[in-house]
Amino acid sequence: MNTSPETLGPELLERLPATVQRPAYDRAALQPGMAHLGVGAFHRCHQAEYTDDLLALQFDRWGIVGINIRPPHLAETLGRQSGLYTRLIRENDHVEARVIGSIVKVVDSQDSAGPALDVLSSPDIELVTMTVTEKGYCHIPSSGELDLGHPDIVHDLANPETPRSVPGILTRALELRQATHGQPLTLLSCDNIQTNGVILETVVRTFAERRGNGLAEWIAANAAFPSAMVDRIAPAVTQDDLDSVEQWFGYHDGAVAVGEPFRQWVIEKKFAGRMPRWDLVGATFVDDVTPFEHLKMRVLNGAQTTLATLGVLAGLEHTSDAVADPLLSVFVRRMLVEETLPTLMPVPGMEPLAYVEQSLGRLKNTAIRHRNHQIATDGSQKIVQRLLNPIRDRLDQGASVRLLSVPVAGWMAYLIQASECFGKLWPVSDPYAGKVAAIADATGRDAPALAAAILAIETIFDPGLAANAAFREAVTSALGELLSGDPMAAVRHSLEQDEVARLKRSKQSAL
């Protein structure tokens, strides 16, 4: 008879296979102390794991209440398992399994903000971390300001007590805290956005200022918005991952998370109340996260976005396939070493070249099935910090941006080819997908006209950058080739041109 396997839960903890580690503390004694918004694969592989490590070392009341305000629902997976889940660390053939116990409760707040507000306004909660994706902040990517024209923001300003956006919900929660117990709150963004704390503070403050009643002043005095650099590659979980746990360990887990061995968390030391001592378990508290952010976003994430969009255009499925491609691998290393590294500030304790090699090594991990389409999702929200900011710095230095311009054109080509006019080659998800498709449908296959129209989107390309002749020329010529029958010609040619320029430079310096 075929009986279905037992589902992970507290009763199973004592009977887990010896190869699966279990929480090294008494979960039953844990109290909710912090909340997390956006319980996806990344949170389960990162902040929840650091917290699990901390609980094993120094028991405190830092149990996590996990909240989702967008799909998926948590009740049927994590909820059913009392917050427990299996976190797999995978590297090629190596697998390490551990059940994480730091999430003590989950709350679904997709239908209305009420359940999320109850948690976030509770005096038990001293800290809220969040991974709500780049677009969750409803900010304008090129300026970092709250997008007052965003439909959810328009809705929330008109209906502040029933908000649906992240800025609206957080502002309302702070307002409820002010009106009831007055306890301070730390709001720690763990999204991969440059100056994420500043952006979060800006969108909340802008929202609060419009509410009036001294709320913005109360927030300024009682809330803290530290910035943080977060890192671990943890792709969207697949049915295969769930099946593997069942097959290897004999139990069912609907909330498995899979990540690579590497992890990093650098947090600005700016808390409104008590601070979980994540620094005792590998995180770093610093006064300024900027150099760490630049390094990670421009090198690791820059490489990922480059390999993702160019990888899709080359017909490759995962990051590990793209980085294994000889041409793309030479290209991405050259781009990072020659054009990206000179834009970085010194980072304490890190050697930039070694970081490039380490990053490319991480991307080769074949057990991490990170789909190029997943990384290309929301590219409009990612390219500013990953590609455009280093490009601007290079242009300020009077240096070439030939290589960095290719993935910018890659992002354009990725969205353009999803348009009707280009035969809808693949489905895409990006807040600017509709705009780019409309441009493509109106413009047709004229690469210079396409590039000009997309570069004119000021919320992504600031006008000063878009007007730069060298950048425009490099993007336009790469785009023409990426849209041709031989897309990788763009990559080959940019490398050849770069080589010629290098030879010229070395001849000149020899004279």
Binding positions for ligand CS2, rule: CB under 6 A: 192, 231-233, 301, 304, 374-375, 382
* CB of 234 vs ligand CS2, minimal distance in Å: 7
Q: Which is nearer to ligand CS2, 81 or 192 (CB)?
A: 192
Cβ-contact 8, 99 below 8 angstroms: yes
Q: Cα–Cα distance between 77 and 505 in angstroms, integer?
A: 59
For ligand CS2, which is the closer residue by CB, 135 or 472?
135
- In the bound complex, what is the minimum distance in angstroms from residue 235's beta carbon to ligand CS2? 7
Nearer Cβ to ligand CS2 (189/301): 301
Comparing CB distances to ligand CS2, the nearer of 172 and 382 is: 382
Please say which residue, 43 or 164, places its beta carbon nearer to ligand CS2.
43
End-to-end C-alpha distance for the chain, whole angstroms:
83
In eight-state DSSP terms, residue 86 is E
Q: How far apart are CB 382 and ligand CS2 at their closest, in Å?
A: 6
Q: How far is the CB of 432 from ligand CS2 (least distance, A)?
A: 15
User: What's the min distance (Å) between Cβ of 91 and ligand CS2?
Assistant: 15
Distance of CA 444 to the CA centre of its chain: 33
Both tokens of 42, joined, read: 């990344």
Q: How many CA atoms lie within 13 A of 224 on its CB side?
A: 17
Nearest residue (CB) to ligand CS2, 20 versus 307: 307
As measured in angstroms, the least distance from the Cβ of 268 to ligand CS2 is 17
Q: With respect to ligand CS2, which residue has the nearer C-beta, 231 or 268?
A: 231
Peptide bond into 226 cis (omega under 30): no
Maximum distance among all Cα pairs of the chain, rounded to whole angstroms:
83
Residue 377 CB, nearest distance to ligand CS2 (Å)?
A: 7
Nearer to ligand CS2, 367 or 489 (CB): 367
In single-letter form, the type of residue at position 65 comes to: V
CA angle 286, 289, 291 (to 5 degrees): 120
Q: Residues near 36 by Cβ (< 8 Å), separated by ≥ 6?
A: 43, 47, 48, 64, 65, 66, 67, 103, 128, 129, 130, 131
Q: With contact defined as beta carbons under 8 Å apart, do 291 and 346 qualify?
A: yes
Contacts of 197 (CB under 8 A, 6+ apart): 188, 189, 225, 226, 227, 228, 268, 270
Task: Using the minimum distance from each CB to ligand CS2, give the nearer residue, 195 or 374.
Answer: 374
Our CB check for ligand CS2 shows the closer of 201 and 231 to be 231
User: Given the complex with ligand CS2, which of 304 and 419 has the nearer CB atom?
Assistant: 304
- Compute the least distance from the CB of residue 77 to ligand CS2, in Å: 21
* Shortest distance in whole angstroms from residue 86 CB to ligand CS2: 20
Task: Give the residue among 129, 240, 223, 229 at the shortest CA–CA distance from 185.
Answer: 223
C-beta of residue 327 within 8 angstroms of C-beta of residue 494: no
**In the block, residue with structure tokens 């990922």:** 304
DSSP for 222-238?
A: HEE---EEEE---PPP-
At closest approach, how far in Å is the CB of 376 from ligand CS2?
8
Residue 302, CA distances (Å) to 17, 306, 437 in order: 40, 6, 24
d(CA 359, CA 113): 39
- Answer whether 384's CB lies under 8 Å from 142's CB: yes
Q: Write down the least CB distance from residue 232 to ligand CS2, Å.
A: 5
To the nearest whole angstrom, how small is the minimum distance from the Cβ of residue 275 to ligand CS2?
22
Residue closer to ligand CS2 (CB basis): 78 or 233 = 233
Burial zone of 449 (CB within 10 Å; 0-12 exposed, 13-18 middle, 19+ buried): middle
> Which residue type does 410 have?
G
